[in-house]
Amino acid sequence: MKGFSWSRWIGIMLKEFIQLRRDRLTFGMIIGIPVMQLMLFGFAINSDPKSLPTAVISADNSSLARSIVAGLKNSGYFRIVREISSEAEADRQITEGEVQFVVHIPENLARRVVRGERPALLIEADATDPSATANAVSALSGIGRTALAREFTGPLARLAPLPDPLDIRVHRRFNPEGVTQYNIVPGLLGVILTMTMVLMNGLAMTRERERGTFENLLATPAQPVEVMTGKLVPYILIGLLQVSLVLLAAHFIFHVPMQGSLLAIYAVVLLFIAANLTLGITFSTLARNQLQAMQMTFFYFLPSILLSGFMFPFRGMPGWAQVLGNLLPLTHFLRLVRGLMLKGSAAAELWPDIWPLLAFMLVVMAAGLRFYRRTLD
C-alpha cells in the first residue's frame, strides 16, 4: 500500500486503546455479554429436522436389507446420500460432517433374521448437535418392524409376531450422552463474537463521525488503510478475552470436552474475529451515525443466529435457507469450533469451512475500502 506508515498505524491503535479504556459502558458490555448469554443459553433449544444426510455401508444385498434402507427413507428422517464400502470412508464422512448418520448393514442380515437371531443393525449418529439427531434416532426402532413386516409373508409369516426382528444399536458419536450444552456452548462463542465484534467496531468509526473528530482525522495525512486496520487491533484482543472467558466457562461450568488443540481453536477464532471486524468497519463506513451502525448490526445479527445452525439445526432448514446460511461466517465458524472441540477434527477436515471465512473477509474488506470516505463529500 502506497505511503503506509507504521508510525501512524500505531498511533491510531494506541488512541483506540486509550478511548476504549475510558469507555466504561463498552468495557462492561465486553464482559457482560458473554456472561449473560452463557447463562441464558444454558437452556436447550430443540427442533425436529428431517431428511438428514445418511450413508449406508451394506455387506448384505438381500431384498430384506433393501427394505430396511427403504424404510429409513420412508420415515422422512433419513436421506440416503451415498452407499460406501469402507469403514475408513464412513468415518471420514461423519467426521467432516458430510453425513449425519452411517448405517451399517452386517453380513448375512437376511439369513440371520430368518433364523430369528435378531442381528444387530449399527447406526452411527453425529450427536454434536443432539437436537438434530434425537427424533431421527427415536424413529429408528419402529422402522425395523414396519419395513420388515411386508417381507414376512408366506413361509416367513411365522416371524411377524416376534417383538423385534432386529437389534438396532445407535452409536452416538462425539457427544455420547447427547448433552445440549456441548452444542450450545461452543456455538455461543460464535454468537458472542458476532454480536460484539461487529457492533463495537461499527460504532468505533461512526463515533468519530458523530463527534466531529472525523474531520480532524481526515485533515491529517492518515491513510484509510491505516485508520481501518489500526482501529481493529484493540477489538481483536477483546475478542480473544471473550473467547477465553467462554472457554473457561465451557470447561469448568458446563464440562464440555476439548478434543482438538487449544491453539487450533484460537487460530480459528482469530480468523472469525477478523471477518467480523472487517464487516463492522465496513458497516461504519456506510452508516452515517451510531444508530444506523447499530441497526445494520442487528440486521446482520438476526439471520446469523437463526440460519447458522446455532438456534435451529442447520440440516432442518429448507435448501434456500441453507444456501443463505452458508454465506454467513457464523455458520462456518460453528462447524469449525464444534468440530474442533467435540470431534477433534484435523486441519484438512477444517478447510471446507475455512476458505469461506477468508473469502467473506476479503470481499467485505474490499467493500469497506471502496466506501471509506477520504473526504467529507
Q: Which residues bind other proteins (CB under 8 A)?
A: 3, 5, 7-8, 10-11, 14-15, 18-19, 22-23, 211-222, 375-377
Q: Nine-digit cell at 179?
A: 448433552
Say if residues 250 and 186 touch (Cβ distance below 8 Å): yes
Nearer to other proteins, 324 or 369 (CB): 369
DSSP-derived secondary structure letter, 165? S
Among 3, 97, 8, 37, CA closest to 250: 37
Minimal distance, residue 14 CB to other proteins, in Å: 8
Say if residues 188 and 37 touch (Cβ distance below 8 Å): yes
Can you name the residues that pair with 58 across neighbouring β-strands?
A: 105
Packed helices 180-211 and 329-338: angle between N→C axes, nearest 10 degrees: 140
Nearer to other proteins, 66 or 207 (CB): 207
Nearer to other proteins, 20 or 258 (CB): 20
Among 330, 336, 339, CA closest to 360: 330
Give the Cβ contact number of residue 327 at 10 Å: 13
Nearer to other proteins, 146 or 220 (CB): 220
Torsion over CA: 123, 124, 130, 131 (sign): negative
Minimal distance, residue 4 CB to other proteins, in Å: 11
Dihedral of the alpha carbons of 308, 312, 318, 323, in degrees to the nearest 10: 0
Minimal distance, residue 217 CB to other proteins, in Å: 8
C-alpha span between 256 and 253 (Å, rounded)? 8
Nearer to other proteins, 218 or 311 (CB): 218
Distance of CA 100 to the CA centre of its chain: 14
Minimal distance, residue 210 CB to other proteins, in Å: 12
Minimal distance, residue 24 CB to other proteins, in Å: 11
Nearer to other proteins, 24 or 86 (CB): 24
Nearer to other proteins, 8 or 92 (CB): 8
Minimal distance, residue 214 CB to other proteins, in Å: 8
Among 66, 58, 105, 64, CA closest to 85: 58
Minimal distance, residue 280 CB to other proteins, in Å: 20
Buried b (16+ CB within 10 A) or exposed e, 161-173: eeeebbebebebb
Nearer to other proteins, 13 or 149 (CB): 13
Q: Which residues are CB-contacts of 267 (< 8 A; sequence separation ≥ 6)?
A: none
Nearer to other proteins, 209 or 315 (CB): 209
Among 151, 139, 141, CA closest to 65: 151
DSSP-derived secondary structure letter, 102? E
